[in-house]
Amino acid sequence: MTTSLPSSRAFTRRGALGALAALGLSASASSFAQTTPATIRIGYQKSSTLIVVLKTQGTLERRLAPLGVKVTWHEFTSGLPLLEALNLDNLDFSADVADTVPVFAQAAGAKLTFVAQEAPSPSAQAIVVRADSPIKTVADLKGKKVGFAKAAGVHYLLIAALAKAGLSFKDIEPAYLTPADGRAAFEKGAIDAWVVWDPFLAAAQQQSSVRVLADGTGIASYQRYYLAATRFADARPDVLEVLYAELEKAGKWVKQSPKEAAALLAPVWGIDAAIVERANSRRSYAVRAVAPDLLTEQQRIADAFFAEKLLPKKLDALDVAVFKPRA
Protein backbone atom coordinates (compact mmCIF):
# COMPACT_ATOMS: atom_id res chain seq x y z
CA MET A 1 0.00 0.00 0.00
CA THR A 2 1.32 3.43 -0.91
CA THR A 3 -0.04 6.79 0.19
CA SER A 4 1.20 10.34 -0.21
CA LEU A 5 1.50 12.82 2.61
CA PRO A 6 1.59 16.62 2.27
CA SER A 7 4.20 18.19 0.05
CA SER A 8 7.19 19.90 1.64
CA ARG A 9 6.28 23.25 0.05
CA ALA A 10 4.05 24.39 2.90
CA PHE A 11 6.60 23.07 5.35
CA THR A 12 9.39 25.07 3.76
CA ARG A 13 7.36 28.27 3.88
CA ARG A 14 6.72 28.05 7.60
CA GLY A 15 10.29 27.14 8.47
CA ALA A 16 12.24 24.05 9.36
CA LEU A 17 12.07 24.25 13.14
CA GLY A 18 8.75 26.07 13.41
CA ALA A 19 6.78 23.29 11.81
CA LEU A 20 8.16 20.65 14.12
CA ALA A 21 7.63 22.71 17.23
CA ALA A 22 4.19 24.04 16.28
CA LEU A 23 2.60 20.66 15.80
CA GLY A 24 3.58 19.25 19.21
CA LEU A 25 5.91 16.35 19.77
CA SER A 26 4.45 13.56 21.90
CA ALA A 27 0.88 12.95 20.82
CA SER A 28 0.42 9.25 21.46
CA ALA A 29 3.62 7.76 22.84
CA SER A 30 2.01 6.33 25.98
CA SER A 31 -0.82 4.53 24.18
CA PHE A 32 1.65 3.29 21.55
CA ALA A 33 3.88 1.70 24.18
CA GLN A 34 0.97 -0.40 25.45
CA THR A 35 0.56 -2.24 22.13
CA THR A 36 2.73 -4.27 19.79
CA PRO A 37 2.42 -2.69 16.32
CA ALA A 38 1.35 -5.09 13.57
CA THR A 39 2.04 -2.54 10.81
CA ILE A 40 5.17 -0.62 9.94
CA ARG A 41 4.60 2.70 8.17
CA ILE A 42 7.67 3.53 6.10
CA GLY A 43 8.41 7.02 4.79
CA TYR A 44 10.77 7.55 1.88
CA GLN A 45 11.92 10.04 -0.76
CA LYS A 46 12.70 9.66 -4.44
CA SER A 47 16.39 9.51 -3.57
CA SER A 48 15.84 6.69 -1.02
CA THR A 49 17.46 4.16 -3.32
CA LEU A 50 17.70 1.10 -1.11
CA ILE A 51 14.19 1.41 0.30
CA VAL A 52 12.85 1.93 -3.24
CA VAL A 53 14.63 -1.30 -4.28
CA LEU A 54 13.06 -3.21 -1.37
CA LYS A 55 9.65 -1.67 -2.06
CA THR A 56 9.77 -2.47 -5.77
CA GLN A 57 10.83 -6.05 -5.15
CA GLY A 58 8.31 -6.64 -2.35
CA THR A 59 11.13 -7.84 -0.11
CA LEU A 60 9.92 -6.42 3.19
CA GLU A 61 6.39 -7.69 2.74
CA ARG A 62 7.76 -11.22 2.33
CA ARG A 63 10.29 -10.99 5.14
CA LEU A 64 7.95 -9.39 7.68
CA ALA A 65 4.94 -11.61 7.01
CA PRO A 66 6.21 -14.37 9.35
CA LEU A 67 6.33 -11.74 12.11
CA GLY A 68 2.70 -10.82 11.43
CA VAL A 69 3.70 -7.34 10.29
CA LYS A 70 2.25 -5.49 7.31
CA VAL A 71 3.96 -2.63 5.44
CA THR A 72 2.51 0.67 4.24
CA TRP A 73 4.48 3.19 2.14
CA HIS A 74 4.41 7.00 2.32
CA GLU A 75 6.33 9.23 -0.11
CA PHE A 76 7.77 12.65 0.79
CA THR A 77 9.56 15.28 -1.27
CA SER A 78 12.18 16.10 1.41
CA GLY A 79 13.62 14.77 4.62
CA LEU A 80 12.59 17.13 7.40
CA PRO A 81 8.80 16.78 7.00
CA LEU A 82 9.45 13.03 6.81
CA LEU A 83 11.03 13.10 10.28
CA GLU A 84 8.29 15.43 11.48
CA ALA A 85 5.75 12.76 10.50
CA LEU A 86 7.90 10.09 12.16
CA ASN A 87 7.96 12.01 15.43
CA LEU A 88 4.22 12.77 15.34
CA ASP A 89 3.36 9.06 15.09
CA ASN A 90 2.31 9.29 11.45
CA LEU A 91 5.24 7.01 10.50
CA ASP A 92 7.33 4.34 12.19
CA PHE A 93 10.47 4.20 10.05
CA SER A 94 12.28 6.65 7.81
CA ALA A 95 14.29 5.72 4.76
CA ASP A 96 17.63 7.44 4.47
CA VAL A 97 17.78 11.17 5.09
CA ALA A 98 20.82 13.41 4.77
CA ASP A 99 23.02 13.91 7.82
CA THR A 100 21.70 17.43 8.44
CA VAL A 101 18.06 16.41 8.83
CA PRO A 102 18.34 14.63 12.20
CA VAL A 103 20.14 17.67 13.59
CA PHE A 104 17.13 19.92 12.94
CA ALA A 105 14.74 17.26 14.22
CA GLN A 106 16.82 16.75 17.36
CA ALA A 107 16.87 20.50 18.00
CA ALA A 108 13.06 20.45 17.95
CA GLY A 109 12.90 17.65 20.52
CA ALA A 110 12.09 14.73 18.24
CA LYS A 111 12.34 11.28 19.82
CA LEU A 112 14.19 9.33 17.14
CA THR A 113 16.42 6.25 17.12
CA PHE A 114 19.32 5.94 14.67
CA VAL A 115 18.96 2.52 13.03
CA ALA A 116 21.66 2.52 10.34
CA GLN A 117 24.04 4.77 8.46
CA GLU A 118 25.35 4.79 4.91
CA ALA A 119 29.09 5.34 4.66
CA PRO A 120 30.18 8.71 3.16
CA SER A 121 29.28 9.70 -0.41
CA PRO A 122 30.80 13.20 -0.70
CA SER A 123 30.57 13.49 -4.50
CA ALA A 124 26.84 12.62 -4.54
CA GLN A 125 25.96 16.27 -3.90
CA ALA A 126 27.41 19.38 -5.48
CA ILE A 127 27.20 23.10 -6.13
CA VAL A 128 26.57 23.63 -9.83
CA VAL A 129 26.39 26.63 -12.16
CA ARG A 130 25.42 26.89 -15.80
CA ALA A 131 28.28 26.01 -18.13
CA ASP A 132 28.49 29.60 -19.46
CA SER A 133 28.32 31.21 -16.00
CA PRO A 134 31.03 33.77 -15.11
CA ILE A 135 31.17 32.16 -11.65
CA LYS A 136 34.40 30.16 -11.54
CA THR A 137 34.98 29.52 -7.82
CA VAL A 138 32.94 29.27 -4.64
CA ALA A 139 34.32 32.69 -3.64
CA ASP A 140 32.53 34.12 -6.69
CA LEU A 141 29.18 33.25 -5.07
CA LYS A 142 29.43 36.37 -2.89
CA GLY A 143 26.29 38.43 -3.46
CA LYS A 144 24.76 35.74 -5.67
CA LYS A 145 21.41 33.94 -5.35
CA VAL A 146 21.88 30.26 -4.55
CA GLY A 147 19.07 27.71 -4.58
CA PHE A 148 18.92 24.63 -2.36
CA ALA A 149 16.60 22.64 -0.11
CA LYS A 150 16.54 23.92 3.45
CA ALA A 151 17.93 21.52 6.08
CA ALA A 152 19.05 19.03 3.40
CA GLY A 153 22.62 17.78 3.18
CA VAL A 154 23.30 20.39 0.51
CA HIS A 155 22.53 23.11 3.07
CA TYR A 156 25.56 22.07 5.12
CA LEU A 157 27.65 21.53 1.96
CA LEU A 158 26.99 25.15 1.00
CA ILE A 159 27.88 26.47 4.47
CA ALA A 160 31.07 24.39 4.60
CA ALA A 161 32.12 25.36 1.07
CA LEU A 162 31.53 29.05 1.77
CA ALA A 163 33.56 28.84 4.97
CA LYS A 164 36.43 27.20 3.12
CA ALA A 165 36.32 30.07 0.61
CA GLY A 166 36.41 32.68 3.39
CA LEU A 167 32.71 33.55 3.15
CA SER A 168 29.72 33.09 5.45
CA PHE A 169 26.09 32.24 4.79
CA LYS A 170 25.28 35.95 5.02
CA ASP A 171 27.41 36.60 1.93
CA ILE A 172 24.91 34.89 -0.39
CA GLU A 173 21.19 35.24 -1.05
CA PRO A 174 19.60 31.88 -0.18
CA ALA A 175 16.60 30.58 -2.13
CA TYR A 176 14.97 27.63 -0.38
CA LEU A 177 13.67 25.33 -3.13
CA THR A 178 12.69 21.69 -3.56
CA PRO A 179 14.80 19.83 -6.15
CA ALA A 180 12.07 20.19 -8.81
CA ASP A 181 11.62 23.91 -8.17
CA GLY A 182 15.38 24.37 -7.92
CA ARG A 183 15.99 22.88 -11.33
CA ALA A 184 13.28 25.01 -12.92
CA ALA A 185 14.71 28.17 -11.34
CA PHE A 186 18.25 27.17 -12.35
CA GLU A 187 17.37 26.52 -15.97
CA LYS A 188 15.52 29.80 -16.44
CA GLY A 189 18.27 31.81 -14.75
CA ALA A 190 16.29 32.79 -11.64
CA ILE A 191 19.17 31.62 -9.44
CA ASP A 192 22.91 31.92 -10.04
CA ALA A 193 23.88 28.55 -8.58
CA TRP A 194 22.13 25.42 -7.43
CA VAL A 195 23.14 22.95 -4.71
CA VAL A 196 21.60 19.51 -5.19
CA TRP A 197 22.09 15.80 -4.60
CA ASP A 198 21.74 12.64 -6.65
CA PRO A 199 19.78 11.50 -8.60
CA PHE A 200 18.75 15.12 -9.31
CA LEU A 201 22.41 16.10 -9.76
CA ALA A 202 23.03 13.32 -12.27
CA ALA A 203 19.87 14.23 -14.18
CA ALA A 204 20.95 17.88 -14.45
CA GLN A 205 24.41 16.84 -15.64
CA GLN A 206 22.96 14.50 -18.26
CA GLN A 207 20.17 16.75 -19.52
CA SER A 208 21.43 20.32 -19.02
CA SER A 209 24.60 22.28 -19.59
CA VAL A 210 26.05 22.51 -16.09
CA ARG A 211 29.44 22.82 -14.45
CA VAL A 212 30.32 21.54 -10.97
CA LEU A 213 31.75 24.33 -8.83
CA ALA A 214 32.42 22.06 -5.84
CA ASP A 215 31.21 18.80 -4.37
CA GLY A 216 31.54 17.51 -0.82
CA THR A 217 35.02 16.03 -1.17
CA GLY A 218 37.06 17.15 1.81
CA ILE A 219 34.35 19.32 3.32
CA ALA A 220 31.07 17.40 3.72
CA SER A 221 31.02 13.60 3.96
CA TYR A 222 27.29 13.29 3.18
CA GLN A 223 26.31 10.32 5.30
CA ARG A 224 22.67 9.29 5.14
CA TYR A 225 20.75 7.89 8.10
CA TYR A 226 17.85 5.48 8.57
CA LEU A 227 15.77 6.31 11.63
CA ALA A 228 12.82 4.94 13.57
CA ALA A 229 10.43 6.54 16.01
CA THR A 230 11.89 5.60 19.39
CA ARG A 231 8.52 4.26 20.51
CA PHE A 232 8.53 1.85 17.55
CA ALA A 233 12.18 0.90 18.07
CA ASP A 234 11.42 0.01 21.68
CA ALA A 235 8.32 -2.02 20.74
CA ARG A 236 9.60 -3.88 17.63
CA PRO A 237 13.38 -4.40 17.61
CA ASP A 238 12.68 -7.66 15.75
CA VAL A 239 11.29 -5.66 12.81
CA LEU A 240 14.32 -3.35 12.83
CA GLU A 241 16.60 -6.41 12.69
CA VAL A 242 14.90 -7.46 9.44
CA LEU A 243 15.05 -3.93 8.01
CA TYR A 244 18.73 -3.58 8.82
CA ALA A 245 19.63 -6.93 7.27
CA GLU A 246 17.68 -6.26 4.07
CA LEU A 247 19.07 -2.73 3.68
CA GLU A 248 22.59 -4.12 4.00
CA LYS A 249 21.86 -6.76 1.32
CA ALA A 250 20.24 -4.20 -1.00
CA GLY A 251 23.24 -1.88 -0.70
CA LYS A 252 25.63 -4.63 -1.74
CA TRP A 253 23.40 -5.65 -4.65
CA VAL A 254 23.15 -2.09 -6.05
CA LYS A 255 26.95 -1.71 -6.04
CA GLN A 256 27.65 -5.21 -7.39
CA SER A 257 24.95 -5.08 -10.10
CA PRO A 258 24.88 -1.45 -11.29
CA LYS A 259 23.12 -2.04 -14.61
CA GLU A 260 20.47 -4.32 -13.12
CA ALA A 261 19.86 -1.84 -10.30
CA ALA A 262 19.57 1.05 -12.77
CA ALA A 263 17.11 -0.94 -14.91
CA LEU A 264 14.97 -1.60 -11.83
CA LEU A 265 15.00 2.00 -10.57
CA ALA A 266 14.70 3.89 -13.88
CA PRO A 267 10.96 3.31 -14.47
CA VAL A 268 10.19 3.88 -10.79
CA TRP A 269 12.03 7.19 -10.77
CA GLY A 270 10.94 8.14 -14.28
CA ILE A 271 14.48 8.87 -15.47
CA ASP A 272 16.88 7.17 -17.89
CA ALA A 273 18.81 4.15 -16.66
CA ALA A 274 22.08 5.87 -17.61
CA ILE A 275 21.26 8.71 -15.19
CA VAL A 276 20.43 6.25 -12.43
CA GLU A 277 23.68 4.37 -12.97
CA ARG A 278 25.67 7.60 -12.87
CA ALA A 279 23.98 8.66 -9.64
CA ASN A 280 24.45 5.26 -8.02
CA SER A 281 28.15 5.24 -8.87
CA ARG A 282 28.62 8.19 -6.48
CA ARG A 283 26.69 6.76 -3.52
CA SER A 284 28.45 4.28 -1.24
CA TYR A 285 25.29 2.35 -0.26
CA ALA A 286 27.47 0.73 2.43
CA VAL A 287 24.94 0.22 5.22
CA ARG A 288 26.49 -0.06 8.65
CA ALA A 289 25.55 0.10 12.31
CA VAL A 290 25.67 3.52 13.97
CA ALA A 291 28.38 4.02 16.58
CA PRO A 292 29.42 7.18 18.48
CA ASP A 293 32.69 7.51 16.57
CA LEU A 294 30.73 7.53 13.30
CA LEU A 295 28.58 10.46 14.46
CA THR A 296 31.32 13.03 14.94
CA GLU A 297 30.44 14.98 11.81
CA GLN A 298 26.91 15.37 13.17
CA GLN A 299 28.38 17.63 15.85
CA ARG A 300 30.26 19.70 13.27
CA ILE A 301 27.02 20.10 11.31
CA ALA A 302 25.11 21.17 14.43
CA ASP A 303 27.83 23.66 15.38
CA ALA A 304 27.88 25.13 11.86
CA PHE A 305 24.11 25.66 11.82
CA PHE A 306 24.20 27.20 15.30
CA ALA A 307 26.98 29.57 14.27
CA GLU A 308 24.81 30.75 11.37
CA LYS A 309 21.86 31.17 13.79
CA LEU A 310 19.89 28.46 12.01
CA LEU A 311 19.50 26.52 15.26
CA PRO A 312 18.12 28.17 18.42
CA LYS A 313 20.66 26.62 20.79
CA LYS A 314 23.87 24.61 20.90
CA LEU A 315 23.18 20.94 20.46
CA ASP A 316 24.84 17.75 21.67
CA ALA A 317 24.39 15.88 18.40
CA LEU A 318 25.80 12.67 19.90
CA ASP A 319 23.11 12.48 22.59
CA VAL A 320 20.83 10.21 20.57
CA ALA A 321 19.29 6.75 20.82
CA VAL A 322 21.08 4.14 18.71
CA PHE A 323 19.81 0.72 17.57
CA LYS A 324 22.37 -2.07 17.83
CA PRO A 325 21.74 -4.92 15.38
CA ARG A 326 22.61 -8.38 16.69
CA ALA A 327 24.97 -8.97 13.75
Question: pLDDT digit string (tens) for 224-245?
Answer: 999 999 999 999 999 999 999 9
> What does the pLDDT look like over 177-234, one tens digit per residue?
999 999 999 999 999 999 999 999 999 999 989 999 999 999 999 999 999 999 999 9
Q: Are 183 and 46 in contact (CB under 8 A)?
A: no
Q: Are residues 46 and 134 in the same domain?
A: no
Query: 163: domain range?
Result: 122-215
Residue 34 has pLDDT above 70, yes or no: no
Model confidence, pTM? 0.85
Q: Are residues 277 and 147 in the same domain?
A: no
Last residue of a domain, one of 166, 194, 215: 215
Q: Are residues 318 and 235 in the same domain?
A: yes
DSSP 140: G
- Place 14 in a pLDDT band, splitting at 50, 70 and 90: very low
What's the CATH code of the domain at 126?
Answer: 3.40.190.10
Q: Are 98 and 121 in contact (CB under 8 A)?
A: no
Q: Is residue 23 part of a domain?
A: yes
Q: Are 153 and 179 in contact (CB under 8 A)?
A: no
Q: Are residues 253 and 295 in the same domain?
A: yes
Q: Is residue 185 part of a domain?
A: yes
Q: Are residues 8 and 110 in the same domain?
A: yes
Kindly provide the residue ranges of all beta strands, DSSP E only, lying in the chain, ordered along the sequence: 2-4, 39-44, 70-75, 93-98, 112-118, 125-130, 145-148, 173-176, 193-197, 210-215, 224-229, 287-288, 321-322
- CB count in 10 Å sphere of residue 185: 16
Q: Are 111 and 231 in contact (CB under 8 A)?
A: yes
State how far the Cα of 229 lies from the Cα of 25, in Å rounded to an integer: 11
Give the mean pLDDT of the chain. Answer: 89
- CB count in 10 Å sphere of residue 190: 14
Residue 265 has pLDDT above 90, yes or no: yes
Residue 164 has pLDDT above 90, yes or no: yes
Q: Is residue 327 part of a domain?
A: no
Residue 12 has pLDDT above 50, yes or no: no
How many structural domains is the chain composed of?
Answer: 2
- Place 327 in a pLDDT band, splitting at 50, 70 and 90: low
